[in-house]
Structure formats: C-alpha cells, structure tokens
C-alpha cells in the first residue's frame, strides 16, 4: 500500500511559479512510476506529467503538450518525494492537482493505469 500526500498549492498571479510536492509512504517508492494529473472545475481530470522509476539510465519524463516547457516533473527517491515545478503559470492552469503512483517502471498518461492517488492540492492562477 502506498499513501500519497500533496502539498505546495496556493494562489499565484499569472506568470508566477509554484512547486508542488508529493510525499509517498512505503519502501518501494523508487520502483513506482509517478504522475501528476489535474482537474479544473466542470472538466474531467487530465494528464499533466509523468516520470518513470529510476533505472540504470536514469528516469524518463513525459508531458502534456499544454504544459511542455513550463512544468517540470522530478523525483527524489531518498526523500520518497516527487515534485512538479510550475513556471510561467496561466489562469488556465487553475485546477486541483493530483499525484498518482503506478506499479510499473514506465510512466503513463492514462489515469486508469495508476494504482494509488493523493487527495489533491488546489492551484489557483489569477489574471
């Protein structure tokens, strides 16, 4: 069982930055792929970014087209934490952001392929 707790959300002006954190319980964090998803009011939850488990060659990252170049996913296995650095934020980035863990080395853009979810953290970007 893996428990995920997100933090770091808040209110920021357009063009600003935030860093979300997701702390995971358990001893096998390094073997899980991790993902970030978001859900805006009245919309379905959508993929934001994912990172593979760390292998000998390092980790692979994947991004939704809408966030490429602005958001960066990373992980620190020593701290059992995955991060989402968000720069150049836009009002359309306003959403509840969820962290998810997948029992696989590979990341995925499909939420059904994730096994564990956090409770979410609110990000609001004002214009």
48-107 residue pLDDT tens = 999 999 766 678 999 999 999 999 999 999 999 999 999 999 999 999 999 999 999 999
Q: Would you say 16 and 27 are in contact if contact means Cβ atoms under 8 Å apart?
A: no
User: Which residues have CB under 8 Å from 95's CB, separation 6+?
Assistant: 38, 39, 40, 41, 43, 122, 123
Of 38, 29, 4, 11, nearest to 119 by C-alpha is 4
- Among the residues of the chain, which ranges form H helices? none
What is the C-alpha separation between 108 and 74, in angstroms, rounded?
15
Structure tokens at 35: 């993902």
Model confidence pLDDT, tens digit, residues 16-63: 999 999 999 987 888 999 999 999 999 999 999 999 997 666 789 999
């Amino acid at each position: 069982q893996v428990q995920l707790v997100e933090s770091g959300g808040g209110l920021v002006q357009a063009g600003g930055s935030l860093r979300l954190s997701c702390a995971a319980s358990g001893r096998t964090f390094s073997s899980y792929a991790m993902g970030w998803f978001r859900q805006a009011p009245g919309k379905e939850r959508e993929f934001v970014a994912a990172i593979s488990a760390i292998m000998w060659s390092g980790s692979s990252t994947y991004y939704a087209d809408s966030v490429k170049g602005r958001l960066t996913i990373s992980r620190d296995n020593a701290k059992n934490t995955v991060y989402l650095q968000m720069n150049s934020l836009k009002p359309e980035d306003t959403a509840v952001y969820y962290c998810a863990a997948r029992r696989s080395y590979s990341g995925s853009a499909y939420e059904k392929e994730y096994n564990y979810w956090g409770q979410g953290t609110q990000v609001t970007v004002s214009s």
